[in-house]
Structure 1
């Protein structure tokens, strides 16, 4: 479990860094998953576990930030509820995008390392 956790943290950090680069940000979870799967897995199943751990580690700060931003925006007159709901929807879409591409990339990385 230690290698998978190490790979998940490496993949998550590389994904966050790649999210900051223009034109690469759409593929950031895939590339981060490949890096994390290669670093922490020996086969496809290990890569899958790395991808799941990456997703869990991405959900925690995403939900915290969405909750904070949604609660701040809910006090805006007239459109506050719309902005708060949009924040939750965008967080769900971002986590789903990261999960799908991250798990796929981690499986590929696990296959490459084995």
Structure 2
């Protein structure tokens, strides 16, 4: 089955960010996300899931275990299970990305303060 943002399950997270579940299998999750300007995700980690963040458009800051990485369009980075992380869009443009997780992150997320 062909999937796109129009046919995928949609949800809203954070302060007006969008997610479209392109693949939603217990072993693999692929989500197309859109982050408006000046938004971020809460700092957290996953007990089992490893993730790969791939930037389709825009620029993000990805903090992983206290180190900040800048990812631009067509760049990506893996985050291993157990690594505290947080993604930020500190720009004035929307950011679109793919977040690939194995296994999927449902029930696997631990929020940090």
TM range (shorter): under 0.3
Higher helix share: 1
Superposition TM-score, scaled by structure 1 size? 0.26
Rg larger for: 1
- TM-score normalised per structure 2: 0.26
More strand by share: 2
